[in-house]
Structure 1
Amino acid sequence: MKNISADVAKAAIKLAISTRDEEKKIIEELKKSNYSVAAVDIGGDLINSIPKIIERTLVASKKTGIIKDYHVHEGAVAGAIMEAITQVNPRAMGLNFGGKIGIARYDEHISVCLFISIGLLHLNDLAIGLGHRSIPNIG
């Protein structure tokens, strides 16, 4: 039996860890398989950037048609990105970071992946967080 949740999570992870050139190819491939996908660059101080991360994730999700302008859809995406932020927060708290968010949806499954590089002097640490939600197909 196919595990759609895992496949959607893999798609979000692929987008988040890809370069811009790789991202374009991945998006084309996933769209052929009826996925709705998007990727967004982010960066800054993690704690102060949380509202901006949520906003950018929601805007990208709506703009690309991953979700519709329904509070159930918005809540699912906001919850998934908050889950991802919670997973990377202990490693990045108080530090600057840069990275990317990958968003993937197939049917009612949606995953949001946050992949970041955390600046620490001349060393960079990496962290990845993943959130998944199930949302109804409305309209």
Structure 2
Amino acid sequence: MKEKSSVDVAKASVRMAISSRTEEERLIEELKKENVLAVAVDIGGNLNSSIPKIIERALVASKRTGIIKDCHVHDGAIAGATREAIMQVSEKANGLNVGGKIGVARYKEHISVCIFLSIGLLHLNEVVIGLGHRSIADL
């Protein structure tokens, strides 16, 4: 099996974030066969007031599925990558209601967090995506 790069891990997190609920479990199993751990979690609400909750949901989902260990270094990696992804989407979503998913993927030392959002604006929906990456010690 070929080694995965940070780009491959980023693609996996994007795939998780844009997947439907029905595709999600199949995708997790498919990635697991390639030694990539992945999880996705729904998010929504006003972006500004939801930032702490979004980071918390990414952390809890990552710990629950074994993507990271329960230690401050791993917590910081997920929180930092999630915050980076949030900053990339915040300009378009500032103060507006959003709905979407967080996709997290890990292969060895590479962790990637993707945030995919639909931004509600009257009857129009804007779509935005943000991506963060961190590197941590191998499991």
Bucket of the pairwise TM-score, normalised by the shorter protein: over 0.9
2:108 is the counterpart of 1:98 = no
CA deviation map 1:50-81 (0-9, x unaligned): 00000000000000000001111000000000
Secondary structure at the residue paired with 2:59? helix
Between the aligned partners of 1:3 and 1:16, the Cα distance in structure 2 is 19
Q: Residue 57 of structure 2 corresponds to which residue in structure 1? A: 56
1:31 aligns with 2:48: no
Tell me by how many angstroms 1:137 deviates. Answer: 2.3
1:84 counterpart residue number: 85
RMSD: 1.2
Matched residue pairs, number? 138
Residue by residue, what CA displacement relative to the aligned partner does 1:78-104 show, whole Å, maximum 9, x if unpaired? 000000000000000010000000000
Give distance in 1, aligned partners of 2:37 and 2:28: 8
Which amino acid is the alignment partner of residue 99 of structure 2?
A: G
SS in structure 2 opposite 1:127?
A: strand
Contact 2:4/2:107 (<8 A) preserved: no
Shift of 1:25: 1.2
Structure 2 counterpart of 1:20: 21
Tell me which residue corresponds to 1:136.
Answer: 137
Structure 1 Cα separation of the partners of residues 105 and 61 of structure 2: 11
Runs of 4+ in 1 over 6 A off after TM superposition: none
Partner letter of residue 134 of structure 1?
A: S
**Helix, strand or coil for the counterpart of 2:27?**
helix
User: How far 1:121 moved relative to its partner?
Assistant: 0.1
2:40 and 2:78 mapped to 1: Cα distance?
13
Identity of aligned residues (%): 67
Does the CA contact (< 8 Å) of 2:47 and 2:93 recur in 1? yes
Q: Which amino acid aligns with 1:72?
A: V
| Structure 2 spans left out of the alignment, 5+ residues | none
Tell me if 1:114 matches 2:120.
Answer: no
TM-score of the pair, normalised by structure 1: 0.96
Q: TM-score, normalised by structure 2?
A: 0.96
